[in-house]
A = this chain, B = another copy of it.
């Protein structure tokens, strides 16, 4: 009975890494971090993909709780979820430390 499986922490890191695993999402996070917040349109303007696809990537980053979005009719304002983003960074730092 060895009950082999992944640890919670391994699952969490992998999940964050997966969310970061596409250049569009990296670009979005970089872009967002350069301003306090911005609208969907501003993000769409700098990415080489359709708005439907941008929306999808934003949704994934929201699901991973790395960003937040709130409606400001008729626009949607996005920003980094600072608290969780710091947490994510910490998880990675710890992982990196472990693997040195």
Q: Spell out A's residues near B (CB within 8 Å).
A: 4-7, 10-11, 13-15, 17-18, 20-27, 29-30, 32-33, 46-48, 80, 85, 89, 92, 95-96, 98-100
- Whole-angstrom CA separation of A23 from B96 in the bound complex: 15
Q: What's the Cα separation between A85 and B95 when bound, in Å?
A: 12
Copies of chain A in the complex: 2
Majority SS of interface residues in chain A?
helix
Q: How far is the CA of A33 from the CA of B95 in the complex (A)?
A: 11
- CB-nearest residue of chain B relative to A80? B99
A25 to chain B, nearest CB (A): 7
Question: Closest approach, in angstroms, between the C-beta of A10 and any C-beta of chain B?
Answer: 5
Q: A25 to B10: give the CA distance in the assembly, Å.
A: 9
